[in-house]
Chains A and B, each alone.
Chain A
Amino acid sequence: MQTDRRNLLKSMAAVSAGVVFPVAMSGCRVADYGPATPVELISWVVIEPNNTVRIRIPQSDIGQGVITTLSQVLAEEMDLDWSLVRPEFFDPLTNLKRGNVYVYTCTESSWSADRLFDPMRMAGAQIRQMMLIAASRRSGIAIEDLRTENSGVVFPGGARHSYAELALLASHTTPPEPAKVKLKAAADYRLIGKPVKRLDLKQKTNGTLQYGIDVDLPSMLYAAVRQSPVYGGKLVSWDETAIAKMPGVVKVVRIAGGSSGLNGPIADGGEDYGMDDAVAVVADSFWRARKALLALPIEWDEGPFANASSEAIMADLTRRVGQTQPVVREAGDYAAAIGRAAQVLEADYSYPFMDAMPLEPINCTAWLRPEGLQVWASTQFAQDAHRLAAVTAGLPPERVQFNLPYTGGAFGRRCQNEYVSQGVQIAKAIPGRPIKLIWTREEMMARGYPPPITVSRFKAGLDENGKVIAWFNRVVSGTAPDQSYGPARLPHYVPNLQIEYARIKTPQPFGWMRGVAFTQHVWMNQGFQDELAVAAGRDRVDLYMELLDETTVPADLKDRGVAVNRIRNMRDALNRVTKIAGWGERLPRGRGRGISVNDFSYWVTYRTGTAAAVVDVTLDGKGALRVDRVFVVLNCGRILNPEVVRGQVEGSIFWAITTALYGKITLKDGRVVERNFQDHNVARLATACRNIHIELVQSDEHPAGVGEDAVPIVMTAMLNAIFDAGGPRIRSLPLSDHDLSFV
């Protein structure tokens, strides 16, 4: 079976069809909200006396806008007045106690909409039904004669009860069976699919939004941390006397390395995803803590990776890609077919270590008191942060409260919660005082969780007509879970095909990064396909369309219909993007176009959107590259909020540009060479593309992810465009390592 990041979540009970919600509880946690009587209904909402409704969002808002879009979903079915909606982040402890009532609480895989569309519609519809029952009981009027509208129940004569007035009575009704609840027809949607403005827009423009790093508590202390500069190193000693007289220093704390949560004991492959030993200096201000840490002599045992380098690892991968590796997909007789090919092409592609670099530095605030532990941290996986905090503190989960604030970017980096363990370890050393741990940018870059360094070898055969009759691909990558979907989940059914995949252990623990393995492999696969098209003298779209042929899908393939659908969706996206981009237009030398199409189909039945891109670039002949125009078509199923989706596509475009231009983390002497943004540039306004065209395909299918789909295709189209413009064939990244001048 395919292994992927979903499998890491098996510890969270999966709740599928037929969600049953626990019995309503009224007035839960009233003490937290003042003397009035807010009423909680089936865990998902709290109705305030003034008729505002707090909606629990079981995801982190990392910029993708779930706080708004998921509110739209529940508010739609509950018939809420949008101006009265007040979303809030879920409480992991409540979710734990109530048996994963929030269904899906890890923010990854672009899964928020996919996983929560049904449960949150159902919750809204159930609560709406409970309101109708309550109104009927109170008035004696049959439910059939009542209707709901704008956060209230309307009676036949036009009189109405607000939800607030009915909430307490509703809380004593039994939630209706999901099977008996009728959801709205899409034609009746007032909120789902509408471009409502984000609910946090104002706070995001006046500086009042609370991110993890903004948590402030009375008599709080600050901690700066230094981890082993070499991955896998161990702490030997430090000399505290050197900083004893520095102002404000309270304590130096030893932090033990070990398992770090999501990538801990439940990761596949038995790999060590642990964090390393660290030293934290705690002081009365962050500036003082950081200064003292810089002055603290620390001795490390640098361990087995003391001499590791990207260069040596790349050489090792290149050697291994010359050896036979395990076959993950095969068809026909590749060896025979390549032997009779009219034309044979070979190429090696490679991909370096990278870093997601979210802008809000890693941080965690923890406060251990006799009554229990409180933790705050920006994270993509609050549920696991809660678990890890409890394990680290040695407390039962009920005595740990994890508070999820807003997250200033994540892009995969915050799936790992090792900093939560660090924060709690520091809090344990200084009980009674809240401590806020902040990593410097330098610490973040020194201790990233990269996607795997990879070498991919291709060999393909074309017949006399330029048709691909044989396809070989062997991939060897660094530390990662099984990402064989990258090379092997091609939508094509080339008659003779052999794909091999292997991994070696590399120093850094693995990390997810926006676009995941598709970013590497879509580019590599379609970069090589672009080479084939050039060699065959064919238009790329012509070659892609020939490869995307549903009649080539084997008749006995399991889930054949899904495979056929994939091909149809890709052909449709390709057709649409060629139309909006005017594919076929001749560009003068120095300008070039690339095209790419992809979905995020990790495995056969994985629900995914489909996206295609055309990118135009200009090479000035002296080495400079400009991205002139980007065209993206995205079919993501039902669109929850078109403006939010557009924003995600725009963001993906710049993510792709940064990855192509600058994406590289270099290991030397076991250490990361790049220290801060001065060594690792990212796209800025001057590098941004000013000409973006996005077409969102209207669809009634189940909503699919939108946060990552455009990353691989935009990068692929951009890199292929460089060759089309007369530049070099790009087979390694980043572009800043290439000479883009041409004669």
Chain B
Amino acid sequence: MKVNLKINGALTTVEVDDDTPLLWVLRDTLKMKGTKYGCGIGQCGACTVIADFQATRSCSLAASAAVGLDITTIEGLSRDADQFVQKAWQDLRVPQCGYCQSGMIMAVTALLSKSSDPTDDEIDREITNICRCGTYERIRAAIHAAANNRI
């Protein structure tokens, strides 16, 4: 079926099976590889995008259900990796293998859009993404730094 999507501000029409998760539409149909596949069941968060201001696991959202949503992917954050969360990630040298970090940055961007200076407990509750390299404490520090830099 034809699906109309709004991604990073642009309208696009794709021809996919209606149950195809948004993740695979982004990666395989639209060739936007920044959004990652990790578990396929909404656990790990590597596929996180922002849909209408909400952090959303794109592996668990059918493309047909994404119609009408305003979707932002990692590619839509900045032209030059200089969005405030990305900058904090660079300043605090967060990434190791880097595979989870697109999803982390999207989840954190969404969190900071509704809570400008989250507490540690709030961070623990809201950011449930998995990083197998174990960059968690740098992630926490980078979230605080991003919040502070923006204020």
Contacts and interface: CB of A to CB of B under 8 A. Distances in A.
Interface string B80-107: 1100001001100111111111100100
A203 B38 CA distance: 19
A208 B34 contact: yes
B46 A247 contact: no
B16 to A, nearest CB: 8
Contacts of B17: 247, 287-288, 291
A185 interface: no
A193 interface: no
B43 A677 contact: yes
A470 B43 CA distance: 49
B33 A214 contact: yes
B77 interface: yes
A713 B64 CA distance: 49
A548 B129 CA distance: 42
Interface stretch (A113-121, A157-165, A358-366): A358-366
Contact of B99 (A201, A211, A688): A211
B24 A682 contact: no
B110 interface: no
A650 B102 contact: no
Contacts of B73: 207
A206 B35 CA distance: 10
A441 B15 CA distance: 26
Contacts of B127: 684-685
A209 B98 CA distance: 8
12 contacts: A207-B73, A209-B98, A287-B16, A360-B97, A406-B98, A408-B36, A408-B98, A409-B99, A647-B138, A653-B134, A682-B132, A685-B128
A63 B97 contact: yes
Interface of B: 16-17, 19-21, 24, 28-29, 31-41, 43-44, 46, 73-75, 77-78, 80-81, 86, 89-90, 93-102, 105, 120, 123-125, 127-140
A286 interface: yes
With most chain B CB atoms within 10 A of its CB, the pick from A198, A203, A684 is A684
Contacts of A411: 132
Nearest to B23: A287
A445 to B, nearest CB: 10
A409 B132 contact: yes
A652 interface: yes
A608 B118 CA distance: 42
B96 A647 contact: yes
A214 B75 CA distance: 14
B40 A441 contact: yes
Given A207-B75, A690-B140, A682 B130 contact: yes
Contact of A655 (B20, B43, B97, B134): B134
A155 B58 CA distance: 59
Given A210-B33, A650-B135, A686-B125, 6 more contacts: A63-B96, A201-B89, A207-B33, A359-B44, A410-B97, A655-B134
Contact of A207 (B34, B90, B97, B120): B34
Contacts of B125: 686
A216 B34 CA distance: 13
Contact of B93 (A64, A203, A647, A676): A647
B28 A287 contact: yes
A678 interface: yes
Contacts of B130: 359, 677, 682, 684
Given A222-B28, A409-B132, A686-B124, A207 B102 contact: yes
Q: What secondary structure prevails in chain B residues at the interface with A?
A: loop
A293 interface: no
A206 B134 contact: no
With most chain B CB atoms within 10 A of its CB, the pick from A203, A285, A652 is A285
Contact of A654 (B29, B102, B134): B134
Q: What secondary structure prevails in chain A residues at the interface with B?
A: loop
Nearest to B21: A287
B29 to A, nearest CB: 8
A667 B130 CA distance: 24
Contacts of B96: 63-65, 647, 651
A150 interface: no
A338 to B, nearest CB: 41
Nearest to B33: A214
A409 B36 CA distance: 13
Interface string A431-457: 000000010111000000000000000
B139 A685 contact: yes
B42 to A, nearest CB: 9
A406 B36 CA distance: 14
**5 tightest CB-CB pairs across the interface, nearest first?**
A207-B34, A654-B134, A63-B97, A408-B99, A204-B98
Contacts of B98: 63, 200, 203-205, 209, 406, 408
B123 A685 contact: yes
Contacts of B40: 440-442, 676
Contacts of B19: 291
Interface string A343-358: 0000000000000011
Contacts of A214: 33
Contacts of A244: none
A617 interface: no
Contacts of B137: 650, 688-690, 692
Contacts of B37: 213, 361, 438
A407 B97 contact: yes
A99 to B, nearest CB: 31
Contacts of B86: 205-206
Given A206-B74, A654-B136, A683-B134, A690 B90 contact: no
A643 interface: yes
A202 interface: yes
Nearest to B41: A676
B133 A651 contact: yes
Given A197-B93, A650-B137, A358 B41 contact: no
Interface string A204-245: 111111110110100000100000000000000000000000
Contacts of B24: 285-287
Contacts of B100: 359
A480 interface: no
With most chain B CB atoms within 10 A of its CB, the pick from A410, A643, A685, A689 is A685
A208 B102 CA distance: 9
A62 interface: yes
A677 B44 contact: yes
A629 to B, nearest CB: 12
